[in-house]
């Protein structure tokens, strides 16, 4: 509709301007009225032509040669219709004169020059509407591709998260099982903490994003569960958050802490330590997790976990850095995220 309104306005202006020289004795009000009327008459030919050509272009499946012949037939018919409207309606009924060419009366409604003018007028309109339609289709296709990519990324992230939740659950249940065998007094407290953490994993983590304050609270609950099990453990936890409502994809940060317990603390024979340092300022996150470790640890398992995390970070936070310091007695991971450049799924 917008295309036809703009095209009609353009054609009325051109006809109004042309009539100054063709009919200099007409007042401008008459010339404008004539231009408005004649373009409405031409629309009886142009609009059907435009949509018939678009239909053939989009819906009709023919070989190129036959389709090309069909285009020629349709345009030729439109040229005859254009000439008929011009010769028998516009000139005698709107202008009130007989059609002339170079001062001579046009006897028939079809001849070479006037037919060429009609052809050029129709081709100009056809080129415009095909350009608009092809551009519109490309934009629709671009949106569909973007939507498919978004859905694919969303599905991939869901699968990655699904790999995390059972892993955490099974590890913690094993811990509770060991405590139950020993009839430890802390077992009910651990079960209560586990219930809180799993509630987060099942309900909160189902969201695409969550406030960083809730994510940090979940990390603290997780650490509290592990502290009950590991008595010879020193945990240094510090946070400096200037925007607690900053959104972050859930279950990313906790994976580093989980790996620290699984591949660091659980393998330590003596006293162990974990350091967690979270800083958020002006949309930039710095997150450090450091843990003690034995010289002979399961490095392959650690790498598998990091591969999962790296993939999520690549999908969600293009402007991130993840550095790993692997020393003989300690393992340090430092993550930085620029939340100003986040992929929206």
Q: 106: Cβ–Cβ under 8 A, 6 or more apart, which residues?
A: 87, 98, 99, 100, 114
Q: To the nearest whole number, what is the mean pLDDT of the chain?
A: 81
| Structural domains of the chain sorted by starting position, each given as residue range(s) with its CATH number in brackets | 2-110 (no CATH), 155-338 (3.30.565.10)
Give the residue, 102 or 257, on which the prediction is more confident: 257
pLDDT of residue 258: 84
pLDDT in tens, 108-154: 667 777 888 888 888 888 888 888 888 888 888 888 777 766 666 66
| Range with the poorest average pLDDT among 103-107, 298-302, 321-325 | 298-302
Give the whole-angstrom CA distance, residue 273 versus residue 236.
8
Give the whole-angstrom CA distance, residue 45 versus residue 116.
16
8 A C-beta contact, residue 250 and residue 207: yes
Residue 270: is its pLDDT beyond 70? Answer: no
DSSP class per residue in 74-114: HHHHHHHHHHHHIIIIIIIIII-S--EETTEE--SS--HHH
């Amino acid at each position: 509709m917008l295309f036809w309104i703009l095209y009609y306005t353009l054609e009325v202006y051109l006809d109004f301007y042309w009539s100054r020289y063709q009919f200099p004795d007409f007042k401008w009000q008459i010339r404008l009225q004539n231009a408005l009327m004649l373009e409405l008459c031409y629309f009886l030919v142009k609009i059907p032509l435009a949509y018939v050509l678009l239909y053939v272009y989009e819906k009709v499946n023919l070989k190129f040669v036959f389709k090309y012949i069909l285009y020629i037939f349709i345009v030729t018919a439109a040229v005859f219709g254009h000439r008929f409207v011009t010769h028998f309606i516009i000139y005698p009924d709107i202008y009130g004169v007989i059609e002339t060419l170079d001062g001579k009366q046009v006897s028939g409604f079809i001849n070479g020059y006037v037919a060429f003018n009609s052809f050029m007028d129709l081709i100009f309109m056809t080129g415009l509407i095909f350009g608009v339609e092809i551009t519109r289709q490309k934009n629709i296709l671009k949106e569909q591709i973007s939507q498919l990519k978004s859905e694919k990324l969303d599905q991939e992230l869901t699968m990655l998260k699904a790999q995390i939740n059972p892993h955490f659950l099974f590890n913690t249940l094993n811990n509770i099982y060991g405590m139950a065998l020993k009839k430890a007094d802390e077992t009910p407290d651990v079960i209560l903490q586990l219930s809180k953490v799993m509630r987060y994993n099942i309900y909160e983590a189902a969201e695409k994003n969550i406030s960083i304050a809730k994510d940090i609270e979940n990390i603290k609950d997780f650490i509290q569960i592990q502290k009950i099990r590991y008595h010879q453990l020193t945990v240094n936890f510090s946070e400096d958050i200037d925007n607690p409502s900053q959104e972050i994809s859930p279950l990313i940060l906790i994976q580093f802490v989980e790996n620290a317990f699984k591949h660091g603390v659980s393998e330590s024979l003596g006293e162990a330590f974990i350091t967690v340092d979270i800083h958020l300022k002006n949309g930039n996150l710095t997150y450090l997790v450091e843990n003690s470790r034995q010289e002979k640890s399961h490095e392959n398992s650690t790498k598998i976990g990091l591969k999962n995390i790296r993939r999520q970070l690549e999908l969600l936070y293009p402007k991130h850095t993840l550095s790993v310091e692997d020393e003989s007695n300690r393992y340090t991971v430092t993550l930085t995220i620029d939340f100003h450049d986040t992929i929206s799924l």
